[in-house]
Amino acid sequence: MKRKVFTFIDLFAGIGGFRIALERNGGRCVFSSEWDKNAQATYFENFGEIPYGDITQEDTKAKIPQQFNVLCAGFPCQAFSIAGKQLGFDDTRGTLFFDVAEIISRREPEVVFLENVKNLCSHDGGRTFLVIKSRLEQLGYAVFHKVMNATEYADVPQNRERIFIVAFNKAKVKNFALFEFPSQVPLTKTIHDCIDDGVTDERYFYDDARMSHYCELVDGIKSSDFVYQWRRQYVRQNKSGVCPTLTANMGTGGHNVPIILSSKGIRKLTPRECLNFQGYPASFRFPAMLSDAAKYKQAGNSVVVPLIDRICRQILLVIGCDL
């Protein structure tokens, strides 16, 4: 059946995870915004266009088309993350939601599709999330939300829990009550579907010269079927057999670095493998001159593409686009 084209805007676009998923389902991106220059370079590498910059600026907002169907935004989550200081709306990054709300108020799209960290639900005793939900409802939207793990809903072997918010314009989408988030699916993929055992680049491998606790790594990392992390004084095995949650600061070292045992030795994941654990297609690429630190940050900040894809399909069932 022919897919009906719908239009969307890609706010806080990062490297384009939302865009990949929505374009797979017939979507056409009519505006994108991302202020990080490195992320802009990766976006251009894959989509042939550079996103507009700071969405808090009026001249940027003015470039958004008057009409489009879906507003997508993986708005910055550091302000609510358990890995951060949890300042929420007291942190400038937390207030960026209100820039999203202002755009919604002006353009009144049929659907708002948001993603954030799981901790958004419980931050400040649930009051932060209530503010977001209430604002969307004040703007005339019916709000649905659910915390979903990539291992349970996307057949992706990464333990990544995120909250997804889907809001329908009640004046434009009369059958909004039919919306349901996708159901769970079995996890059939393993870490071996995401890991390239052919990696030989020495910069990703550990040895005595590069790791002061290398002996502890050797003692603690015994199986190629698990992903490990160094926890300051000991090696932690992810016993579930999947990859732990990828973070934006994987490239800075410390306990956030996923470590594996390959046939060629103990090493960290490559940036490309991190993209694999986010469900990015093999054709997706980083710019050649981008630093590994920037690549890890971009992968860690991104969304799980197959999960965005599945939620998108449920949205389209409601707004009348054929799949």
The residue annotated as part of the active site, out of 77, 194, 312, 321, is 77
The pLDDT of residue 127: 80
- Low-confidence spans in the chain with pLDDT less than 50: 1-2, 78, 80-84, 86-88, 91-94, 322-323
Using alpha carbons only, give the angle 177, 179, 183 rounded to the nearest 5 degrees: 140
Domain residue extents for the chain: 6-187+300-319, 191-278
Residue-wise pLDDT tens digits, 77-86 = 545 444 445 4
Backbone angles phi, psi at 169, to 5 degrees: -70, 110
CB 186 within 8 A of CB 224: no
Q: Which of 217, 195, 163 is nearest to 269 (CA)?
A: 195
6-187+300-319 placed in CATH 3.40.920.10: no
The pLDDT of residue 26: 94
The HSE-up count of residue 28 (CA atoms within 13 Å, CB side) is: 10
CB 319 within 8 A of CB 110: yes
* 77 belongs to the catalytic site: yes
The pLDDT of residue 254: 66
The pLDDT of residue 29: 98
Give me the helix-helix angle, 17-24 and 305-319, nearest 10°. Answer: 50
Measured between alpha carbons, how far is 275 from 292 in angstroms, rounded to an integer?
Answer: 13
pTM value is 0.92
